[in-house]
Amino acid sequence: DTGVSQDPRHKITKRGQNVTFRCDPISEHNRLYWYRQTLGQGPEFLTYFQNEAQLEKSRLLSDRFSAERPKGSFSTLEIQRTEQGDSAMYLCASSLAAGLDEQFFGPGTRLTVL
Amino acid sequence: QKEVEQDPGPLSVPEGAIVSLNCTYSNSAFQYFMWYRQYSRKGPELLMYTYSSGNKEDGRFTAQVDKSSKYISLFIRDSQPSDSATYLCASFSGGYNKLIFGAGTRLAVHP
């Protein structure tokens, strides 16, 4: 399978715990994006990488959130001190290059904070 | 006000019906408009995209953009149960670095 993969698919955690999600983009895709989707809403942009450089962060990405893309390959999204409001689907997407190239989405990681 | 507004539905239609899904947007700078389809527990997948005003047809699907009224539509002809999904309209932000999505319309096509 050459699509975008995300791990884990589901995560249940208690409030205050830290969680980390992983995204593996399509091979040779330079751009990698993170979105968050809450129930009944469309995805909302969080951040994106061009290779290993994080070029933009949404104001939704509070200081409890951090994303990395070491070596420009896979990416991780960490949430520290989780809150119930962090419960959502976290989607990763990748595109070949910048601009109008199609963004291919992974299946998402569903986070539930108890 | 959200930059892209979409009626969340749900919309329930019989098999074979013509479906009309609609969005409005507020940012005049938007030039490219996309429709994504999202099945339950899956990520969105690109269905169609259009540039500026006009129509684009792909099989049973037609995307329409009216920039004068900031209105985006997706028509599905001869709808099938396999079309049951959430349909998301979207546009690129300035710089084409991120997608701005509507809330999505949940469609159910029953046999």
Between CA A102 and CA B34 the distance in angstroms is 10
Residue A79 has pLDDT above 60, yes or no: yes
Q: Mark yes or no for CB contact B98/A48 under 8 Å.
A: yes
Q: Which residues of chain B register pLDDT less than 50?
A: none
Q: Within 13 Å of residue A92, how many CA atoms lie on the same side as its CB?
A: 29
Nearest residue in B to A91, CA atom: B43
Q: How far is B106 from chain A (nearest CA, A)?
A: 9
Interface of B with A in 43-102 (CB under 8 A): 43-46, 88, 90, 92-93, 96-102
pLDDT beyond 70 at A92: yes
Report whether pLDDT(A13) > 60: yes
% of chain B exceeding 90 in pLDDT: 77
- pLDDT: is B9 or A103 the higher one? A103
> Quick check: helix, strand or coil at residue A2?
coil
Strand partners, A60: none
Q: Residue A1 above 60 pLDDT?
A: no
Helix, strand, or coil (residue A17): coil
CB A85 within 8 A of CB A79: no
Say what the alpha-carbon torsion angle A39, A44, B88, A84 is, to the nearest 10 degrees: 0
Of B37, B50, B58, B49, the closest CA to residue B106 belongs to B37
Residue A12 has pLDDT above 80, yes or no: yes
User: Could A98 and B97 be called an inter-chain contact, meaning their C-beta atoms sit closer than 8 Å?
Assistant: yes
pLDDT of A14-69, one tens digit each?
999 999 999 999 998 999 999 999 999 999 999 999 999 999 999 888 899 999 99
Answer positive or negative: Cα dihedral of A49, A50, A54, A60.
negative
